[in-house]
Amino acid sequence: MKLSEQLLNSLIEITSNSAIACYPYIGKNEKILADKAATDVMRHQLNKLDINGKVVIGEGELDEAPMLYIGEILGNGKGPQIDIAVDPVEGTNFVAKNQPGSMSVLAVAEKGNLLNAPETYMNKIVSGSHIPKGSIDIDFTVKENINIYSEITKKKNSEITVCILERPRHKEIINELNKLNVNIKFLTDGDVSGALLVSDKKFNVDIFMGIGGGPEGVIAAAALNTLNCNFQGRFLFKTAEDINRAQTMGIKDLNKKYEINEIVKGESIFCATGITSGDLMNGVFKQKDKYITETIITHNKSELKLIKKEVSLT
Protein backbone atom coordinates (compact mmCIF):
# COMPACT_ATOMS: atom_id res chain seq x y z
CA MET A 1 0.00 0.00 0.00
CA LYS A 2 1.27 3.42 -0.93
CA LEU A 3 0.33 6.58 0.93
CA SER A 4 -1.79 8.41 -1.63
CA GLU A 5 -1.61 11.89 -3.09
CA GLN A 6 -5.19 12.35 -1.92
CA LEU A 7 -4.15 11.67 1.68
CA LEU A 8 -1.28 14.11 1.34
CA ASN A 9 -3.63 16.86 0.15
CA SER A 10 -6.07 16.05 2.96
CA LEU A 11 -3.35 16.47 5.58
CA ILE A 12 -2.43 19.89 4.18
CA GLU A 13 -6.09 20.86 4.51
CA ILE A 14 -6.26 19.56 8.09
CA THR A 15 -3.15 21.26 9.47
CA SER A 16 -4.10 24.49 7.66
CA ASN A 17 -7.55 24.52 9.25
CA SER A 18 -6.14 23.58 12.66
CA ALA A 19 -3.72 26.51 12.43
CA ILE A 20 -6.53 28.86 11.40
CA ALA A 21 -8.56 27.68 14.42
CA CYS A 22 -5.76 29.08 16.64
CA TYR A 23 -5.79 32.49 14.99
CA PRO A 24 -8.27 34.14 17.42
CA TYR A 25 -6.05 33.12 20.36
CA ILE A 26 -2.71 34.44 19.10
CA GLY A 27 -1.31 36.81 21.71
CA LYS A 28 -4.30 36.35 24.03
CA ASN A 29 -2.48 34.28 26.69
CA GLU A 30 -4.97 31.42 26.16
CA LYS A 31 -2.77 28.46 25.28
CA ILE A 32 -5.29 25.87 26.52
CA LEU A 33 -8.10 27.32 24.41
CA ALA A 34 -5.81 27.54 21.38
CA ASP A 35 -4.77 23.91 21.78
CA LYS A 36 -8.38 22.78 22.19
CA ALA A 37 -9.50 24.71 19.10
CA ALA A 38 -6.78 23.14 16.94
CA THR A 39 -7.38 19.68 18.42
CA ASP A 40 -11.13 19.80 17.82
CA VAL A 41 -10.65 20.73 14.16
CA MET A 42 -7.94 18.13 13.63
CA ARG A 43 -10.01 15.33 15.18
CA HIS A 44 -13.17 16.27 13.26
CA GLN A 45 -11.41 16.37 9.90
CA LEU A 46 -9.33 13.23 10.44
CA ASN A 47 -12.53 11.37 11.27
CA LYS A 48 -13.95 12.27 7.85
CA LEU A 49 -11.06 10.63 5.96
CA ASP A 50 -11.23 7.22 4.27
CA ILE A 51 -8.70 5.72 6.67
CA ASN A 52 -8.49 3.30 9.57
CA GLY A 53 -6.10 5.36 11.67
CA LYS A 54 -4.67 4.97 15.14
CA VAL A 55 -2.94 7.69 17.15
CA VAL A 56 0.46 6.38 18.23
CA ILE A 57 1.89 9.78 19.19
CA GLY A 58 -0.72 11.94 20.87
CA GLU A 59 -1.30 14.50 23.55
CA GLY A 60 -2.22 12.27 26.46
CA GLU A 61 -3.88 9.14 27.71
CA LEU A 62 -7.52 8.11 27.22
CA ASP A 63 -8.73 9.87 30.38
CA GLU A 64 -7.25 13.17 29.20
CA ALA A 65 -9.80 13.77 26.42
CA PRO A 66 -10.57 16.11 24.61
CA MET A 67 -6.91 15.78 23.65
CA LEU A 68 -6.12 13.49 20.73
CA TYR A 69 -5.08 10.61 22.95
CA ILE A 70 -2.70 7.72 22.35
CA GLY A 71 -4.65 4.76 21.00
CA GLU A 72 -7.56 6.84 19.68
CA ILE A 73 -9.04 5.43 16.46
CA LEU A 74 -9.63 7.99 13.70
CA GLY A 75 -11.19 7.92 10.25
CA ASN A 76 -14.32 6.29 8.88
CA GLY A 77 -12.71 2.83 8.88
CA LYS A 78 -13.07 2.35 5.12
CA GLY A 79 -9.51 2.94 4.04
CA PRO A 80 -5.93 1.84 4.76
CA GLN A 81 -4.61 1.17 8.26
CA ILE A 82 -2.21 3.92 9.24
CA ASP A 83 -0.31 5.17 12.28
CA ILE A 84 -0.85 8.83 13.11
CA ALA A 85 1.35 11.21 15.10
CA VAL A 86 -0.25 14.50 16.11
CA ASP A 87 0.75 17.78 17.68
CA PRO A 88 -2.15 20.16 16.97
CA VAL A 89 -0.12 23.05 18.40
CA GLU A 90 3.63 22.71 18.76
CA GLY A 91 4.57 25.77 20.79
CA THR A 92 1.39 26.61 22.70
CA ASN A 93 3.29 29.31 24.61
CA PHE A 94 4.32 30.87 21.30
CA VAL A 95 0.65 31.17 20.32
CA ALA A 96 -0.35 32.55 23.71
CA LYS A 97 2.40 35.18 23.66
CA ASN A 98 2.42 35.82 19.87
CA GLN A 99 6.01 34.63 19.56
CA PRO A 100 7.51 33.06 16.42
CA GLY A 101 7.65 29.37 15.61
CA SER A 102 4.33 27.72 16.55
CA MET A 103 2.81 25.26 14.11
CA SER A 104 0.17 22.56 13.70
CA VAL A 105 1.69 19.17 12.94
CA LEU A 106 0.65 15.75 11.61
CA ALA A 107 2.72 12.75 10.55
CA VAL A 108 1.45 9.44 9.19
CA ALA A 109 2.89 6.10 8.14
CA GLU A 110 1.58 2.65 7.35
CA LYS A 111 0.42 0.63 10.35
CA GLY A 112 3.32 -0.48 12.56
CA ASN A 113 5.84 1.85 10.94
CA LEU A 114 5.93 4.64 13.55
CA LEU A 115 7.60 3.98 16.89
CA ASN A 116 5.20 4.22 19.82
CA ALA A 117 7.03 6.73 21.97
CA PRO A 118 6.27 7.11 25.68
CA GLU A 119 5.64 10.57 27.12
CA THR A 120 9.19 11.00 28.37
CA TYR A 121 12.41 12.79 27.44
CA MET A 122 14.71 11.82 24.60
CA ASN A 123 18.34 12.69 24.02
CA LYS A 124 18.76 13.58 20.34
CA ILE A 125 21.32 14.55 17.75
CA VAL A 126 20.34 15.59 14.24
CA SER A 127 22.26 16.62 11.13
CA GLY A 128 21.56 17.15 7.44
CA SER A 129 21.78 14.76 4.51
CA HIS A 130 25.24 16.08 3.55
CA ILE A 131 26.75 14.26 6.54
CA PRO A 132 27.41 10.50 6.11
CA LYS A 133 25.19 8.41 8.34
CA GLY A 134 26.88 7.32 11.56
CA SER A 135 29.47 10.10 11.46
CA ILE A 136 28.25 11.92 14.55
CA ASP A 137 26.73 10.14 17.52
CA ILE A 138 24.88 10.92 20.76
CA ASP A 139 27.45 8.77 22.58
CA PHE A 140 30.34 10.96 21.45
CA THR A 141 31.35 14.04 23.42
CA VAL A 142 30.30 17.45 22.19
CA LYS A 143 33.90 18.16 21.22
CA GLU A 144 34.20 14.91 19.26
CA ASN A 145 31.01 15.60 17.31
CA ILE A 146 32.03 19.17 16.50
CA ASN A 147 35.50 18.06 15.39
CA ILE A 148 34.02 15.33 13.16
CA TYR A 149 31.52 17.74 11.64
CA SER A 150 34.25 20.31 11.06
CA GLU A 151 36.48 17.77 9.35
CA ILE A 152 33.68 16.51 7.06
CA THR A 153 32.40 19.94 6.05
CA LYS A 154 35.74 21.80 6.14
CA LYS A 155 34.05 24.43 8.30
CA LYS A 156 35.83 26.22 11.12
CA ASN A 157 34.16 25.97 14.53
CA SER A 158 33.24 29.63 14.28
CA GLU A 159 31.26 28.80 11.12
CA ILE A 160 29.25 25.99 12.73
CA THR A 161 25.85 26.61 14.31
CA VAL A 162 24.26 24.26 16.83
CA CYS A 163 20.59 24.58 17.70
CA ILE A 164 19.55 23.62 21.24
CA LEU A 165 16.67 24.20 23.64
CA GLU A 166 17.55 26.84 26.21
CA ARG A 167 17.18 24.74 29.36
CA PRO A 168 19.20 24.38 32.61
CA ARG A 169 19.74 20.70 31.76
CA HIS A 170 21.87 21.79 28.79
CA LYS A 171 24.29 23.91 30.80
CA GLU A 172 27.27 21.58 30.29
CA ILE A 173 26.64 21.24 26.55
CA ILE A 174 26.29 25.01 26.16
CA ASN A 175 29.49 25.64 28.14
CA GLU A 176 31.38 23.19 25.93
CA LEU A 177 30.01 24.76 22.73
CA ASN A 178 31.13 28.17 23.98
CA LYS A 179 34.62 26.83 24.72
CA LEU A 180 34.75 25.46 21.17
CA ASN A 181 33.72 28.85 19.74
CA VAL A 182 30.64 27.36 18.08
CA ASN A 183 27.62 29.52 17.28
CA ILE A 184 24.47 28.64 19.24
CA LYS A 185 20.88 29.12 18.14
CA PHE A 186 18.69 28.91 21.24
CA LEU A 187 15.09 27.78 21.20
CA THR A 188 12.74 28.40 24.11
CA ASP A 189 10.33 25.71 22.86
CA GLY A 190 9.49 23.69 19.76
CA ASP A 191 12.11 21.00 19.24
CA VAL A 192 10.30 19.55 16.20
CA SER A 193 10.89 22.77 14.29
CA GLY A 194 14.40 23.00 15.76
CA ALA A 195 15.34 19.58 14.42
CA LEU A 196 13.97 20.46 10.97
CA LEU A 197 16.34 23.42 10.69
CA VAL A 198 19.18 21.07 9.70
CA SER A 199 17.27 20.01 6.57
CA ASP A 200 18.23 22.97 4.39
CA LYS A 201 21.36 25.13 4.30
CA LYS A 202 19.22 28.27 4.06
CA PHE A 203 18.28 27.87 7.74
CA ASN A 204 21.99 28.07 8.71
CA VAL A 205 21.81 25.31 11.35
CA ASP A 206 24.36 22.50 11.19
CA ILE A 207 23.45 20.30 14.16
CA PHE A 208 20.50 20.03 16.52
CA MET A 209 21.32 18.38 19.84
CA GLY A 210 20.15 17.96 23.41
CA ILE A 211 17.25 16.61 25.43
CA GLY A 212 13.66 17.21 24.34
CA GLY A 213 10.39 15.34 24.17
CA GLY A 214 10.30 11.71 23.06
CA PRO A 215 7.06 12.02 21.06
CA GLU A 216 8.41 15.16 19.39
CA GLY A 217 11.49 13.15 18.44
CA VAL A 218 9.36 10.62 16.56
CA ILE A 219 7.44 13.37 14.76
CA ALA A 220 10.68 15.11 13.74
CA ALA A 221 12.16 11.79 12.58
CA ALA A 222 9.15 11.25 10.29
CA ALA A 223 10.03 14.46 8.45
CA LEU A 224 13.79 14.01 8.51
CA ASN A 225 13.55 10.45 7.20
CA THR A 226 11.87 11.61 4.01
CA LEU A 227 14.69 14.14 3.54
CA ASN A 228 17.44 11.55 4.12
CA CYS A 229 18.73 13.44 7.16
CA ASN A 230 20.42 11.92 10.20
CA PHE A 231 18.68 11.39 13.54
CA GLN A 232 19.64 9.44 16.64
CA GLY A 233 17.65 9.31 19.84
CA ARG A 234 17.62 7.59 23.21
CA PHE A 235 14.73 7.72 25.68
CA LEU A 236 15.48 8.92 29.20
CA PHE A 237 13.37 7.52 32.03
CA LYS A 238 13.14 9.29 35.39
CA THR A 239 10.50 7.28 37.23
CA ALA A 240 9.21 3.75 37.58
CA GLU A 241 5.98 4.96 35.99
CA ASP A 242 7.92 6.12 32.92
CA ILE A 243 9.58 2.72 32.64
CA ASN A 244 6.32 0.85 33.08
CA ARG A 245 4.62 2.93 30.37
CA ALA A 246 7.51 2.28 27.98
CA GLN A 247 7.40 -1.45 28.61
CA THR A 248 3.64 -1.46 28.08
CA MET A 249 4.29 0.14 24.68
CA GLY A 250 6.64 -2.71 23.78
CA ILE A 251 10.01 -1.09 24.51
CA LYS A 252 12.24 -3.83 25.91
CA ASP A 253 15.70 -2.26 25.82
CA LEU A 254 15.36 0.91 27.89
CA ASN A 255 18.87 2.09 26.96
CA LYS A 256 18.52 1.51 23.22
CA LYS A 257 19.97 4.07 20.83
CA TYR A 258 17.47 4.48 18.01
CA GLU A 259 18.53 5.19 14.46
CA ILE A 260 16.09 7.01 12.23
CA ASN A 261 15.10 3.86 10.31
CA GLU A 262 14.09 2.25 13.60
CA ILE A 263 11.82 5.16 14.50
CA VAL A 264 10.02 5.47 11.17
CA LYS A 265 9.93 2.78 8.49
CA GLY A 266 8.78 2.79 4.90
CA GLU A 267 6.76 5.66 3.53
CA SER A 268 5.76 8.54 5.74
CA ILE A 269 4.14 11.92 5.32
CA PHE A 270 4.99 14.90 7.54
CA CYS A 271 2.84 18.00 7.36
CA ALA A 272 3.10 21.23 9.38
CA THR A 273 1.32 24.57 8.99
CA GLY A 274 2.64 27.74 10.60
CA ILE A 275 0.49 29.42 13.24
CA THR A 276 2.92 32.20 14.12
CA SER A 277 5.73 33.02 11.68
CA GLY A 278 9.09 31.38 12.30
CA ASP A 279 12.24 30.16 10.55
CA LEU A 280 10.45 27.41 8.66
CA MET A 281 7.36 29.23 7.38
CA ASN A 282 5.00 32.14 7.84
CA GLY A 283 2.11 32.00 10.26
CA VAL A 284 -1.59 32.46 9.60
CA PHE A 285 -2.34 35.78 7.95
CA LYS A 286 -5.85 37.24 7.69
CA GLN A 287 -6.52 39.30 4.59
CA LYS A 288 -10.00 40.75 4.11
CA ASP A 289 -12.25 37.75 3.37
CA LYS A 290 -9.64 34.98 3.58
CA TYR A 291 -6.87 33.39 5.61
CA ILE A 292 -3.48 32.71 4.06
CA THR A 293 -1.41 29.83 5.45
CA GLU A 294 1.95 28.25 4.70
CA THR A 295 2.56 24.51 5.06
CA ILE A 296 5.69 22.42 4.75
CA ILE A 297 5.22 18.84 3.67
CA THR A 298 7.53 15.91 2.99
CA HIS A 299 6.74 12.53 1.47
CA ASN A 300 8.77 9.54 0.35
CA LYS A 301 12.26 10.99 -0.10
CA SER A 302 10.91 14.13 -1.81
CA GLU A 303 12.28 17.59 -1.18
CA LEU A 304 10.76 19.76 1.52
CA LYS A 305 7.86 21.56 -0.12
CA LEU A 306 6.34 24.87 0.96
CA ILE A 307 2.65 25.18 0.12
CA LYS A 308 0.79 28.50 0.34
CA LYS A 309 -2.95 28.09 0.80
CA GLU A 310 -5.82 30.57 0.78
CA VAL A 311 -8.97 29.77 2.73
CA SER A 312 -12.08 31.94 2.35
CA LEU A 313 -13.85 33.03 5.50
CA THR A 314 -17.16 31.28 6.15
Altogether, the residues listed in the chain come to a count of 314
- Helices 31-46, 5-22: axis angle to 10 degrees equals 150
Condensed to tens digits (0 to 9), the pLDDT of residues 1-24 reads: 467 778 888 999 999 999 999 999
> In this predicted structure, what is the pLDDT of residue 122?
94
Label residue 89 left, alpha or beta by phi (over 0 means left) and psi (-120 to 50 means alpha).
beta
Superfamily of domain 5-111+268-312: Fructose-1,6-Bisphosphatase, subunit A, domain 1 (3.30.540.10)
Per-residue pLDDT of the chain (314 residues; tens, 9 = 90+): 467 778 888 999 999 999 999 999 999 999 999 999 999 999 999 999 999 999 999 876 544 545 788 889 999 988 889 999 999 999 999 999 999 999 999 999 999 999 988 888 999 999 999 999 999 999 999 999 999 999 999 999 999 999 999 999 999 999 999 999 999 999 988 889 999 999 999 999 999 999 999 999 999 999 898 888 999 999 999 888 888 888 888 888 999 999 999 999 988 899 999 999 999 999 999 988 899 999 999 887 566 677 777 777 65
Contact between 262 and 122 (Cβ < 8 Å): no
Q: What residues form DSSP beta bridges with 274? A: 103
Condensed to tens digits (0 to 9), the pLDDT of residues 216-271 reads: 999 999 989 888 899 999 999 988 888 888 888 888 899 999 999 999 998 889 99
Q: Which CATH architecture describes the domain 121-263?
A: 3-Layer(aba) Sandwich (3.40)
Query: What is the pTM for the complete model shown?
Result: 0.92
DSSP classification of residue 88? E
- Helices 142-153, 171-179: axis angle to 10 degrees equals 40
User: CA 93, CA 26: separation in Å to the nearest integer?
Assistant: 10
Residues of the chain with CATH 3.40.190.90: 121-263
How much is the CA Rg of the chain, to the nearest whole Å?
Answer: 19
> In this predicted structure, what is the pLDDT of residue 61?
58
Average per-residue pLDDT for the chain: 91
SS3 assignment for 120-171: CEEEEEEECCCCCCCCCCCCCCHHHHHHHHHHHHCCCHHHCEEEEECCHHHH
Residues of the chain with CATH 3.30.540.10: 5-111+268-312
Max Cα–Cα distance, the chain, nearest Å: 57
